[in-house]
Amino acid sequence: MPMKKTFDANARALPHVQELHAYVPGEQPQGEGWVKLNTNENPYPPSPKVAEAVAGEVVELRRYPEPVSARLRAVIGERFGLTGKNVIIGNGSDNILDLITRCFVSQEGAGHTVPSYSLYPVVAGMSGQGMIDVPFTRSMELDVDAIVATNAPVFFLTSPNAPTGVAFPLSAIEAVLQRIDGILVVDEAYVDFGGETAAPLLNDYENLVVVRTFSKSYGLAGMRVGFGLASAGVISMLDRVRDAYNVDRIAQVAAQAAFEDVEYFDVQRAKVIATREATLKQLDALGWFTYPSAANLLFTEPKNAAGAAGAAVAADLFDYLKQSRVLVRYFAAHPLTCSFIRVSIGTDEEMEAFLTAVTSWLNNA
Ligand SMILES: Cc1ncc(COP(=O)(O)O)c(C=O)c1O
């Protein structure tokens, strides 16, 4: 019998891969009966036109997809007053963030605000690069001078921000663009729920990349489609490092169907915004501080029955809600987030279930 051959995968991996901490996605609970308000998904299904488009495409699956997603690029470009040459489609917007990093992030590392979307350090790490932090204070106002001072080849700015929902004014974004030499990525995953898009600035700033996703406002998180808008020069670089068939056939037609059903999109979006505002009123009535949100989430600082807030209170509520099968998100690691919980906006019924569980937590203290 030959000896079993061993291989120390960790020791043999490239040094930067040995150091890498993989992204930790929000929990996907198994079993029935969960109120899932932890990953900012849309509570409503995608447009019925998506199902039609998908069904029509299934018969074509023996063939490779159109490699550059040309049709989807053209349709999206037109909506923004651009051309397909200014658009790239990704397997989720995470894919676009990775392409940008592969092309443009150098040894100096990428910049980001803290807190913001925790995938940025992961994509930078996958390219063997680090991050330059620009910390927020509790006001969550954008520190333009600090962003400029990073001199980062790529700066990731989430607007509206995650996990707070706070949107930054276009004037601040333009001030950054004017003063930096590198690329500013404005990650607009949540913009459809109330933010102001930076897309019109693309005409004047070739160092701007706007990143969008179909996962939130279009209800297609399970399909994995996102897109980037930028100058033709930037897009052509991103195309060089893109997998040849990075977006499958089904995803291309599904995204197009969702994008073109504007009427359905507007109705669902308005419902989510109305539910957010109604939920906010209830949190205000409890006397909890909540950041003004332009996203499909609320970042709120719970107070217990004794009126106390803090990390222990937020952690206790998170655990209590989870035991009640209401799943929200808790970010324990950062002083600006540890006394808050992040609640995705669900249906009215789901938010009712959340608020009922909150009331019972308050009564059980
Ligand atoms: C700020 C931000 N950007 C991007 C994404 C990921 O989007 P996608 O599903 O398109 O990869 C998320 C997902 O939660 C997000 O919060």
By C-alpha distance, which of 154, 176, 155, 153 is closest to 113?
Answer: 155
Nearest ligand 1 atom to alpha carbon 39: 14
What separation in Å is there between the alpha carbon of 92 and the centre of ligand 1?
8
CATH of domain 48-261: 3.40.640.10
93 lines ligand 1 (CB under 6 A): yes
pLDDT of residue 359: 97
339 near 308, Cβ under 8 Å? no
94 Cβ below 6 A of ligand 1: yes
> What is the β-pairing status of strands 226-229 and 289-290?
unpaired
Question: For the domain 13-44+263-363, what is the CATH code?
Answer: 3.90.1150.10
Does ligand 1 lie within 6 Å of residue 293's CB atom? no
Task: Check pLDDT > 90 for residue 26.
Answer: no
Q: Which helix (H) or strand (E) holds 236?
A: helix 232-240
Is the predicted pLDDT of residue 74 greater than 90, yes or no?
yes
pLDDT at 134 over 90: yes
Which atom of ligand 1 sits closest to the CA of residue 26?
14
Q: Which atom of ligand 1 is nearest to the CA of 158?
A: 1
Mean pLDDT of 136-163: 97
Residue 215 CA, closest ligand 1 atom number: 9
270 Cα to the center of ligand 1, angstroms? 20
Per-residue pLDDT reduced to its tens digit, 173-200: 999 999 999 999 999 999 999 989 999 9
What is the pLDDT at residue 195? 85
Arithmetic mean of pLDDT, 215-223: 98
Q: Report percent pLDDT > 90 for the chain.
A: 95
Backbone dihedral angles phi then psi of residue 358, each to the nearest 5 degrees: -65, -45
Residues 6+ apart with CB under 8 A from 190: 40, 160, 162, 165, 216, 217, 294, 295, 296, 297
101 in Cβ contact with 124 (< 8 Å)? yes
For range 144-173, the mean pLDDT: 97
What is the structure's pLDDT at 16?
A: 93
Using the mean position of ligand 1's atoms as its centre, give its distance from the Cα of residue 120 in Å. 10
Q: Domain limits of the chain?
A: 13-44+263-363, 48-261
Mean pLDDT of 162-169: 97
CA 93–ligand 1 middle distance (angstroms) = 6
Residue 243 predicted with pLDDT over 90: yes
Taking the C-alpha atoms of residue 278 and residue 295, their distance in angstroms, rounded to an integer, is 14
DSSP reduced 3-state for 40: coil
Q: Is 41's C-beta closer than 6 angstroms to any atom of ligand 1?
A: no
**Is 365's pLDDT higher than 90?**
no
**pLDDT at residue 32, rounded to an integer:** 87
Ligand 1 mean position, distance from CA 137 (Å): 23
pTM of this structure:
0.96
pLDDT tens-digit map of 335-351: 999 999 999 999 999 99
91 band by pLDDT with thresholds 50, 70 and 90: very high
Contacting residues for 186 by C-beta, under 8 A, at least 6 apart = 157, 159, 173, 198, 208, 209, 210, 211
Cβ-proximal residues to 107 (8 Å cutoff; 6+ apart), any chain: 129
Check if the beta carbon of residue 41 is closer than 8 Å to that of residue 92.
no
Q: Does ligand 1 have an atom closer than 6 angstroms to the CB of 187?
A: yes
Q: Which of 27, 192, 215, 246 to mutate to test the pocket of ligand 1 (most atoms within 8 A of CB)?
A: 215
Expressed in angstroms and rounded, the spacing between residue 234 Cα and the centre of ligand 1 is 21
User: Does ligand 1 come within 6 angstroms of the Cβ of 116?
Assistant: no
- Does the structure show a pLDDT above 80 at 1? no
Report whether residue 215 contacts ligand 1, using a CB cutoff of 6 Å. Answer: yes
